[in-house]
Amino acid sequence: MRPVLALVELELKRFLADRFNLFFVFVLPLVLVGVLGLQSGGGGQGRVAVTGEEPTLGQLADRLEAAGVEVTTYPDRDAVDDGVAEGSFDLGVVAGGAEGEPVTLELVAVGAEPSPLLEPVVRTAAEQVVLAHEHAAALEEAGVDPVEAERVASAGPEGWTDAQVVVSDGDPVRAELASMGRFDLGAGGQLLLFVFLNTMTAAASTIKARRSGAMRRVMGAPVTSAQTVTGLALGRFVIALFQGVYIIGASSLLFGVDWGDLGAVVVVLAVFGLISAGLALLIGVLLDAEGPASGIAVGAGLILAALGGCMVPLEFFPDTMRAVANVTPHAWAYQALAEIQRRDGGLLDVLPQLGVLAAMALVVLAVGTVALRRSLARAI
């Protein structure tokens, strides 16, 4: 076992010693998770920029925050327009209604239609503000002190609380995606993309070892070919696992990504990593030059990730493309992660996806092992 572990350690050190790899392993995945999360606008009820006249502005902001909306208040209209145009907010609201004046509402959105999820929330909050104004006016007419009338109208009757607004959508997929955290969906896709991509690019190190004669020297040492094959395959698997665990841990700490049942996620990651390790072995044995191997690894990694739902959710694919996507391991891993992250699934819930992934892993590892054995035999 010691020679196998030594080979695993050697593979991991060789991979991490490449500064180019360090950028792709530690920096780029988190940058993409952050960028995709900021672009998505998901999470909670959304982000709204508000401006306008007091007291309507403050009351409206309070109502929106009570409904779970992330609210940012600006002193002027231009800042709201700029924020919405830049994509920093899902909707802008200009509230009119100084003391004693009727409440007016202007929505600012990119395009002709405001967000279909946020608009009803904003309208409901505005109606609550209007009702509070009318309630205060009625109390003042009844002889209640204006300050006390405003306090009572804002607080409502004893025991009364703000309504908990839940926005539903007729499309269950959209509703499911809208219920996820802002960074959750992008994190799942980037996890699969980079685990596969970075493990595949490790194929170049196998070619480098063959060309430099390192493989021949290893075979000259007191290790069997089975130990060498196991060590090299396990080395790529450890790279996949290392990359995956890093993305899971760092995205949770930096962006608060909710991965669901971590044990089930790690099992999916491990089986998925076995597939990428097997393919990396195969490329490293079949090709003789590092350049083409890296090109194929990156190209195949990106294409399979796109087909498998890592860039655009599988649910948005036409039926034909969804059928095609199922030939990729990414699609099955994506479906397993979706079950765990969105529907609180556990290991038993993703057994069908794990079964398909395990079968794929078995095939590519077997083919890769046979090819590597033949290559080692030629090196002796």
pLDDT, tens digit (0-9, with 9 covering 90-100), for 208-265 = 777 776 666 766 666 676 777 777 778 888 888 988 999 999 999 988 899 999 999 9
Per the CB < 8 A criterion, the answer to whether 30 and 72 are in contact is no
User: Other CB atoms closer than 10 Å to residue 105's CB: what's the count?
Assistant: 19
How high is the pLDDT of residue 222?
67
The C-alpha atoms of residue 380 and residue 378 are separated, in whole angstroms, by: 6
The residue type at 237: F
Do β-strands 104-108 and 91-96 pair in parallel, antiparallel, or remain unpaired?
antiparallel
pLDDT at 159: 47
The candidate with the shortest Cα–Cα distance to 315, out of 174, 207, 182, 190, is 174
| Cα–Cα distance for residue pair 369/74, rounded to 1 Å | 62
pLDDT at residue 327 in the model = 95
Give dist(CA 30, CA 325) in Å, integer. Answer: 25
Q: CB–CB of 85/102 below 8 Å?
A: no
Q: What confidence score (pLDDT) does residue 307 get?
A: 93
Tell me, what's the pLDDT at 336?
95
pLDDT at 112: 54
17 CB-near residues (< 8 Å, 6+ apart):
none
Sign of the alpha-carbon torsion through 196, 202, 204, 207: negative
Q: pTM here?
A: 0.68
Q: Which residues in the chain come in under a pLDDT of 50? A: 43, 158-168
Taking CA atoms, 260 is separated from 43, 51, 177, 198, in Å, by 16, 37, 15, 24
Please report the pLDDT score of residue 166 as a whole number: 47
List own/partner pairs for 153-161 with CB under 8 A and 24 or more apart.
154/59, 156/132
